[in-house]
Amino acid sequence: MAFSLPRAASQAVLLAALLPWAGAQAQVQAGPGAWSANQTWATDTVNGGALTGYYYWPATNPTLAGKRALVLVLHGCAQTAAGDVINATSDGGYNWKGVADQYGAVILAPNATGNLYGSHCWDWAKSTHSRSTGHSGILLDLINRFVSNPQYAIDPKQVYVAGLSSGGAQTMVMGCLAPDIFAGIGINAGPPPGVTTLQIGAVPSGYTATTAANNCKNLAGANASGFTTQVAGVIWGTNDYTVAQGYGPLDAAAMRIVYGGTYTKGATTTVATGGSNIPYTDANGKLRTSEITVTGMGHAWPAGTGGQNSNYVDATKVNYPAFVMDFWFKTNLRVAQVAPPAMTSCSASVSGSTVTVNGAATGTIGSYQVVLNGPTPVNDAAAGSGASFSKAYTGRADGYYSGSVTATDSGTGLTSAACSISQFLVGSQPRSRNQDGQQHRPQLERVERRHRLQRLPQRQQGQRQRHHGDKLYRYRPGGGDQLQLSGVRGRQRRRGERALGVGQRQHELRFRVHRDDVQQLCPRAGRARPRQRRLCPGQWLEPEHGSGQHLLYGHAGADLGRLLHHRQLPVSAWVQDLTGALAPVFFALTFLDRPNPLLARFIHHASLTLSSV
């Protein structure tokens, strides 16, 4: 077939690009992350006019083999790229932007030239198709423009095409005509080659999958070897009465015949929001075709949530861009599936207001990314490189931080799974908020020095014993870990003193906790007695003169443990904070309980914890 020299030269460049790729990988450049303005590309000498449209170049890195995928998206009849495919101010069109960012892929959204069939359709129903003329020719020219331009870093082994209706039929034409170029196709409600526009509503008598497969092979000609590494997805709606639903499974069966060999039908799986998928694997166990039926969907592109929901686009059903991109990327038979790098370790250490993050990974690491969440967050994409790194971040505000580290391979561009950095504290305990939204610290009140076995003032002690009928104990760890007993007489007191070691003098701190914090400690707490709130079984609070605060009583070890767990603070952190604010002082707690093993366990635990401070 004769064609012009410039077009022949263009095809030669494209075919050369599709030869086994052994050269060094180009640097992947970040795009603007937005749809382009309207572009003008090749002139269509058959249908008239020039090919126009849009492209999306993501700012994100590619996820497969360090090079970008290229996806050609073809609209249906009565649609346009600007009006239906690309993102608008009020909707996401066909909803390709999100998956383009996820996979680092470039998306092409051209407009059909001419006005075929009176509805701005593609010329899929023509009896002949050429790689150099008509819609097929200008679309292959568009693919070549992007594959051959190094700034886009397109991998010629990751070129795909998908479309709706006439765009779906044209998708099958492109996959059959150029299987050496397209590694995967996605047909949405598209009739196969050889069907006329008058036959779209019903499969013609005698037209079978074998008929479609033979037509497909004839289009491929000498390029049929590309079928051995191509995959195909097909999708249609159960309420589609524009294009016969029977074309869906027929298209998929025809592609399996073209691909050759024997196939195993897999179990039907659910696709979110109304879809059911039937996979077919070849004799080597490779997934080659996917057939999705969408319950309740009419003749429309299944965009999923966020897409346009009008003019043959359905945003209430399956997100086909997300599904088909996952299908293509996982089943691509032309790209070696290289494992991403792996983080082997990561950690953070604190010195004053400086946080030092360390990490190591396998592979040829071009960069590490450090993310710290906290009062002074960090998002550093250039934290280091090589087998390991260490980087200090100064001037971090006091508070709790957590984070992660990822590594990116310089050769493949692949990024590791995140290595999590456990929560750590910079500086002193962060402030919490009271009911008025103001920040506060749990308050500590210093009480005068008391002699051994001295009772509390009658006003305080009497009210508590009236409600509880228990004895009052005050504990002072440090300096012998001694307990002061009140209201205990004779032998019981002496046994307690011998077991716990009663001291001669005591500094007491009364530990208070705000009502907000109490409710977080035991959110199911209910009213128990007037002016008292029950924390949990065995724990009580008493109001403190309308101050909005309560003294904490009950099983002291359990209460303190819950509080420290809630705030994710070790005991040592509390003591460091107290000694910084009220030095010199001993950590002390006032609580009500009977002498029992729980008390001894609490003292034992507290003394062990505090001894290292």
What tokens appear for 128 in the block?
């002949």
Q: Which residues of 156-165 are buried (b: 16+ CB within 10 A; e: fewer)?
A: bbbbbbbbbb
- Name the residue with tokens 């128990």: 528
Radius of gyration of the chain, Cα coordinates, nearest whole angstrom = 36
CB-based burial, 477-491: b 16+ in 10 Å, e otherwise = bbeebbbbbbebeee
Q: Is 404 a catalytic residue?
A: no
In the three-class reduction of DSSP (H, G, I as helix; E, B as strand; rest coil), residue 313 is classed as strand
Show the tokens assigned to 160: 């795909």
DSSP label of 335 = S
* Closest by Cα among 349, 425, 421 to 390: 349
Instruction: Give the Å distances, CA to CA, from 338 to 22, 279, 344, 416, 583.
Output: 15, 24, 18, 12, 59
Q: Six-digit token pair at 449?
A: 């020095």
Catalytic residue among 10, 132, 136, 165: 165
d(CA 528, CA 63): 59
Geometric angle at alpha carbon 26, from 23 and 28, rounded to 5°: 150
Q: 375-403 burial, b if ≥16 CB within 10 A, otherwise e?
A: ebebebeebbeeebbebebeebeeebbeb
Helix (H, G, I), strand (E, B), or coil: what is residue 389? strand
User: One-letter amino acid identity for 396?
Assistant: R
Distance CA 523, CA 551 (A): 17
Nearest to 442 by CA among 509, 387, 490, 497: 509
Interacting residues of 302 by C-beta distance below 8 A, sequence separation 6+: 188, 235, 237, 275, 294, 314, 317, 318, 319, 320
- Side chain identity, residue 44: D
Distance, CA of 320 to CA of 326 (rounded, Å)? 10
Identity of residue 243: V
DSSP helix/strand/coil, 467: helix
Distance of alpha carbon 388 from alpha carbon 555, whole angstroms: 48
Burial (CB count <10 Å: 0-12, 13-18, 19+), residue 309: middle
Nearest to 387 by CA among 338, 343, 420: 343
Contact status, residue 125 vs residue 199, Cβ threshold 8 Å: no
Any idea which residues carry the catalytic annotation? 165
